[in-house]
Structure formats: structure tokens, C-alpha cells
Amino acid sequence: MKYDLIMKRGRVVDAHTGLDGKYDVGIKSGKIAEVAPNLSPISAENVVDAEGYVVMPGVIDSHVHVSSQERWVGFAMMASKGVVTAVDFGGPIQSSLEGLKTHGCGMNLAGLHTVVPGEDTKDIDPTPDELGQIADEALKAGAIGLKMVGGHRPASPEVTARIIEIANQKGCYIAFHAGTTATGSNIEGFHEAVKLAGKNRLHIAHVNSYCRGLNKVPAAEALEAAESLRQHRHLVSESYLGTINGTSASCVDGLPTSHVTRNCLKMGGYEPTEKGMGEAILGGWALIQVLIGGKLELVTGREGHDIWLAAKTKTGVSFPVNDTTSMHILATAKTKDGEFAVDAISTDGGGIPRNVQLERGAALVRLGALTWPELVRKLTINPARMLGFENKGSLAEGFDADVTIACPVTGRAKMAVSRGQIIMVDGVVVGRGGHLLTTELGLKNAQAAGISAEAVDLSKSWFYTRS
């Protein structure tokens, strides 16, 4: 067989097939053609020497934000860190698709459409019919489902439960940044989300963000969350390893518009007001997100304060509020049968400077908290199964040729390959365009927009099959 590309002599780690050893990986026509101890280099058009590196299925980031035009730089930020496939939680889906087309870096993307009662609906108490119409339109536009941003702009418990119910009736995906008007973005909001879901399917986003110590010590909150997820296996989840939280610095009438932002200010000892925000920036607690050299960087102090004022507060902001102990608990917690309580390691990054899942994951391996096969499982096959990406997450023959090559010590990505095409080498992004993972309803719209796309079957995903 003549291969398009062979990766030689790397440590191949594939949680799906169980491979962990020195192998060559042969790629043909965008698919994994063969994994064997020794493939002849003369049988390939291109050869990559991967000796000394981990060769794994392409990293899947199951929670990112690249929907708004300002965050389209997130595609390059992700690709430079070895991410090959991502799920955009930002919405609107139309902007996600435009970003994929113009800034996609060769990546694969699935998108959720954000619904905020009172902003995206006629009023704060939308009817089932209106919510059903929103879901239908989102799926036709190319989304795989909906996202609720309760931690930022919460809806009532009743409306939140209604959105979950409608999404399940439509057979689409539904994710929730937990917290309603009755709770908030904290451990109580997490427990409420579980109750509101009932027997319905729900993706509870970035579990560690509810375990910051707002109600109890962070470790206790993380242990509670892990135990709840062990008991409710029909729910799927992810958590991230970044110490900073990304949110909005926007203020209206003297108050931050996001409830998350208010919590972050209080955690730093600042008033949850516009005045408190200014003081937090000057004091180094709040870090303003600024576009520098094609990616978002963090600036604080007087420089950050000036940028925030010049933007009339309408900037992104990050706070160092994520507890490392709770992050590690949630990254490693398992069920009695050896599955992970929290299914995947994400970033909630993309266009937020928090794309560290490989580097921080490798740190957990160095600490002995995870093995490389376990880390690979949480970065590849688990999110693929959560989302119904049947051809991703493995280096098995016939799977999409999505590959990430990384340093086994630092976790730094050396190369990323998407559907057989090299999209990043040594941190330099060379990929162009992108590939949409959508539903059958979304294919027509994607094709009309000139976007490469394929349909995924959510009915076969963990989201709808796991009990």
C-alpha cells in the first residue's frame, strides 16, 4: 500500500484499541490505514519521525468558545496546542460557521446555539412551542443542540427545566452552565442542574467551576460533584485544568452583567460592582483579555485598566479563581467499574487563553495521578463517544486520520493532523478552512455556505445511550 503519510517510531497511545507502545501509523485518503511495528518509509509520500513523542488520536476539546468574531482567533490558539476537534459552546451557530470557514485552521468543529430567555425569546418565560422552534432553527442552521448560560444570565428553574425537556424531545444536544435564578454558578447550582434534568439527558459544563469554595471548601465540593455524577450516569460532563476563569468585564448601571464575574470579584475581596472591577484590574486580580499578535493575551494593572475603560468595559476578563485541588479530584475520580466520573478534560478555552489540557494533563501524569492511556482516554475517545463522533477518538483502521503528537514530559504539542492533513507543526498553524460536524438537518445549510461537513448520529452517542 502507498501511504500519504507515515508517522514512525512514536509511542502510540490509543485508549480505544488499547495500544501503548512503539508503532508506525500509516495514513491514506484522510483515514488511518494501518498501525504496525514497522512500515516501510519508501511506501509513503511523506514521513514524520515521531521517535521520543507520544502519538495519539487527535485531541478533542469538548467545550470551547470561538463563536463571536472577536474569538475566531481561538481556532489558531487551539490548533497551536494540538487540538484537532472542538465543540463551540458560545453560539450563535451562524457566527460559529463563519468563523470555521474563514479562520478554522483545518479543524473539525461542532457547535451549540445559545438560548437566553428574555434575550433570544419573546420574554423570560418562553413557551414550549417557541423553544421548539428555536431548537429546530438551530439544528437546520448547523448546530447539534443548545447551550444555556445560567451562570452568566440565569433563567428561572422552571424555564431551565423546560429547555432541557424540549431539547430531549427534539433529540438534540443540550449543555448547561449550571445556575438558575434560585441558585447560582456554584455547587448548589450543580446539584440543582442534576435535579432539573431528572431523567432527561444533559451535559453539565466545566464541573470544576462549581467547586471554587463558594459554599464549602473546594475539595468537599469536588467530592460531592464527583459522587453525584457517579450516581447519575445518564448525564455527561467535562472539567478543565486551567487556573484562570474567563468571563465578561462588561458593566451596565454600575454592575457587572455576568453573575460569574460578580462571584469572581467577591472571591478576590472586591465589591461586585463596576467600581470593584476597576479596583480588581488595578490590583492585579482581574486580567483583561487583549488581542496581541493574533491571539488573546492577559493584561492587568494600569495598562489593563486603560484598555477596559477605552472599550467602555466591553472586554473579556479572567480571574485566578479555579482551585487546583478540586480540578485534580474531578480529573481523576472514577466509578466502581473504572470509568471516569467526569467524562472528559476540556478547556472552556478556544478564544480564552486557557488552552492547557495537554500540558496540565501531562503534569498529572508526571504526578502519577493519571497514566498516559488514561489522559488520552479523557482527551479523545471519551468526548468522541459523548458527542457521537463515531469516526474520531482512535487510531484504529478506518477512523478519521486525526492525530496529535506531543512531548511525553511537557505535554507540548509537536504536530496536529486533521483528516490526514497537517494543520500544525511546532506551534505554527498551517491549516486552512474547516470541517463541520452537524446533524442531518444541518448538512444542507453547511453545504450551501461552502463548508465541508458531515452528519453525526446523536442517538448513538453516550448522551442518549448511557444509563
Domain 58-243+322-387 in this protein, CATH class:
alpha beta
In whole angstroms, give the CA distance from residue 245 to residue 353. 9
Neighbour count for residue 417 (Cβ, 10 Å): 27
Q: Kindly report the backbone phi and psi dihedral angles of residue 390, in degrees, each rounded to the nearest multiple of 5, phi listed first.
A: -65, -25
d(CA 93, CA 168): 19
Q: What is the pLDDT of residue 294?
A: 86
For the chain, the distance separating the N- and C-terminal CA atoms, rounded to the nearest angstrom, is 42
> Is the pLDDT at 74 greater than 90, yes or no?
yes
- Burial state string for 89-128 with b = 16 or more CB within 10 A and e = fewer than 16: bbbbbbbbbbbbbebbbbbbbbbbbbbbbeebbeeeebee
Contact 55, 7 (CB under 8 A): yes
- Quick check: 249 pLDDT over 90? yes
Mean of the per-residue pLDDT values for the chain?
A: 96
Q: Is there a contact between 463 and 201 (Cβ–Cβ < 8 Å)? A: yes
Find out if CATH 3.30.1490.100 is the number for domain 3-56+396-439. Answer: no
| Per-residue pLDDT reduced to its tens digit, 348-393 | 999 999 999 999 999 999 999 999 999 999 999 999 999 999 999 9
Strands 202-204 and 235-240 come out as: parallel
Given this model, what pLDDT does residue 1 score? 80
Q: Residue 152 in contact with residue 181, Cβ under 8 Å?
A: no
- Across 376-426, the runs of DSSP E, i.e. the strands, are 403-406, 413-418, 421-425
> Quick one: average pLDDT of 107-131?
96
Residue matched to cell numbers 495537554: 358
Question: Once rounded to an integer, what is the mean pLDDT over residues 277-292?
Answer: 97
Closest CA to 54 of 310, 287, 371, 283: 371
Q: Is 343 exposed, middle or buried (0-12, 13-18, 19+ CB in 10 A)?
A: buried
pLDDT tens digits for range 220-232: 999 999 999 999 9
SS3 content of the chain, % helix, strand, coil (to 5): 35, 30, 35
Whether the per-residue pLDDT at 433 is higher than 90: the answer is yes
Region 52-59: mean pLDDT is 98
Band of pLDDT at residue 293, cut at 50, 70 and 90: confident
What cell numbers appear for 135 in the block?
431548537
**Contact (CB, 8 A) for 154 and 262:** no
Q: Tell me the per-residue pLDDT of 134-180, one tens digit each, with 9 for 90 and over.
A: 999 999 999 999 999 999 999 999 999 999 999 999 999 999 999 99
Q: Which of 179, 199, 198, 181 is nearest to 189 (CA)?
A: 179
Give the whole-angstrom CA distance, residue 377 versus residue 16.
8
Q: For residue 391, what are the contacts with CB-CB under 8 A and spacing of at least 6?
A: 398, 399, 400
Report percent pLDDT > 90 for the chain.
Answer: 96
Q: How confident is the model over 183-194, as pLDDT tens digits? A: 999 999 999 999
Compute the chain's Rg from CA coordinates.
21
Q: What is the predicted pLDDT for the residue at 90?
A: 85
The proportion of the chain whose per-residue pLDDT surpasses 70, expressed as a percent, equals: 100
Supply the pTM of this predicted model: 0.96
pLDDT of residue 345: 98
Domain extents for the chain? 3-56+396-439, 58-243+322-387, 244-319
**What average pLDDT does the segment 96-114 reach?**
97
Residue 127 makes CB contacts below 8 A (sequence gap 6+) with none
- pLDDT tens digits, residue range 314-330? 999 999 999 999 999 99
Reported as a pLDDT band with limits 50, 70 and 90, residue 6 is very high
Q: Taking the mean position of all CA atoms in its chain, how far away is CA 449?
A: 24
Q: Is residue 417 very low, low, confident or very high in pLDDT (cuts 50, 70, 90)?
A: very high
Integer Cα distance of 247 and 259 in angstroms: 10
- Alpha carbon 371 to its chain centroid, in Å, reads 21
Phi, psi for 55 (deg, rounded to 5)? -110, 120
pLDDT band at 449 (very low <50, low <70, confident <90, very high): confident
Spatial distance between the Cα atoms of 344 and 169, rounded to a whole number of angstroms: 25
pLDDT band at 457 (very low <50, low <70, confident <90, very high): very high
Sign, CA dihedral 126-314-62-264, equals negative
